[in-house]
Structure 1
Amino acid sequence: MTGDIVQMGLYIGAGLACVGMGGAAIGVGNIIGNFLSGALRNPSAAPGQTAMLFIGIAFAEAFGIFSFLVALLLMFAL
């Protein structure tokens, strides 16, 4: 009985950790949308900002990967 409750808590925690992956997807969409908005306003400045675009995408995706890692650790490591 006690092991079942602990297992249920681990699965609930893993599900809540997966919310971070959705947040990362929203963040990446926001970054790309703002870049495209700026690139359409000033096309000559867009090539200079491409490196910053990729850095922003990498940081946003890193948070999603970390939340996925936490979910996997909760489900399988404990």
Structure 2
Amino acid sequence: MVLPLLRSNHLPRIVFCSGFRPLSVLSTYGSYYQPSRNISTSLCRRDIDQAARYIGAGAATAGMAGSGAGIGTIFGSLVIAYARNPALKNNLFSYAILGFALSEAIGLFAMLIAFMLLYAV
């Protein structure tokens, strides 16, 4: 198939709309040409990206809430176990500190992901 020689005013062009409506592509010879995207980013797209960052960072902080609940459970169980058997104080405390460290690490990983979503991506 041979395509006719076209001037620049016959090529497809992209029209950006305000709001969240989709892009409309205007073309004289619509079936012959594939529409191309503009390289620049629209203002709506940047706002959507920023909102997605905030939503993702907020969802990542749910891990910190779980970490806090886990730490509370660990030390609550330590108090109960110490009340049942005071002779095992040193062994129980070392296990509680180990559980605290592991639970806190999960909270710190969640905070790291939240900061990466906000500032690195």
2:100 corresponds in structure 1 to 57
1:68 corresponds in structure 2 to 111
Among candidates 77, 81, 85, match of residue 34 of structure 1: 77
Task: Determine which structure has the larger strand proportion and give its number.
Answer: 2
Q: Which has the higher contact order (CA 8 A, sep 6+)?
A: 1
Q: How many angstroms does 1:45 deviate by?
A: 1.1
Q: How many angstroms does 1:71 deviate by?
A: 0.2
2:49 corresponds in structure 1 to 6
Gaps (5+ residues) in structure 1?
A: none
- Runs of at least 4 residues of structure 1 off by over 3 A? none
41-50 vs 52-61, which moves further? 41-50
61-70 vs 46-55, which moves further? 46-55
State the number of aligned residues: 78
User: What TM-score, normalized by structure 2, do the two folds share?
Assistant: 0.63
Gaps (5+ residues) in structure 2?
A: 1-43
Task: Determine which structure has the larger helix proportion and give its number.
Answer: 1
1:25 corresponds in structure 2 to 68
Question: Which one has a bigger Cα radius of gyration?
Answer: 2
Using the aligned pairs only, state the percent identity.
Answer: 37
